Amino acid sequence: MKPAAVLESALYVTDLEAAEAFYGDVLGLERIAKVEGRHVFFRCGQGVVLLFDAGATMQPPAPDARLPVPPHGTVGQGHLCFAASADEIDAWKSRLEAAGVAIEADFAWPPRSGETSGGRSIYIRDPSGNSLEFAEPRIWGL
């Protein structure tokens, strides 16, 4: 057996309100859940992007918690990559720049074995410094 897909991806943020505004307003993701001071969750295609206040998730659940999710979390910058076609990457670049988001990197990946081109990625930072990438799935042969 092997897992069929990634269902959810988590990033840890330092300012939950700023993160909610960025992922909802700038990236246009649909908010599907929120617990004030702890987390905000967004739908992204077939998966979910989980944004957690880094400190809040390191606390163990109360003994009578309805959902006894174990403590988790990290500090520092994480990374998440969104799939996008070449045309979508151009559109994202324009949208992000118009919103005042700096493009940290924009480059073409080297071709994979037997291919003539490798695909393109752009990188930005969210308000907590997490690295976000928009990339053509073919960078992974998908």
| Domains of the chain, start order | 8-62+74-140 (3.10.180.10)
Q: Which of 3-12, 17-26, 53-62, 63-72 has the lowest mean pLDDT?
A: 63-72
State residue 44's pLDDT score.
Answer: 97
Confidence grade of residue 85 (pLDDT, cut at 50, 70, 90): very high
pTM of the model: 0.91
Q: Which of 36-45, 48-57, 65-74, 76-85 has the lowest mean pLDDT?
A: 65-74
The type of residue at 114 is G
80 secondary structure, DSSP code? E
Rounded-to-integer distance, Cα 78 and Cα 95, Å: 23
Mean pLDDT of 7-34: 96
Q: Is the model's pLDDT at 117 over the cut of 90? A: no
138 secondary structure, DSSP code? G
77 with 37: CB under 8 angstroms?
A: no
Confidence grade of residue 27 (pLDDT, cut at 50, 70, 90): very high
Rounded-to-integer distance, Cα 126 and Cα 138, Å: 24
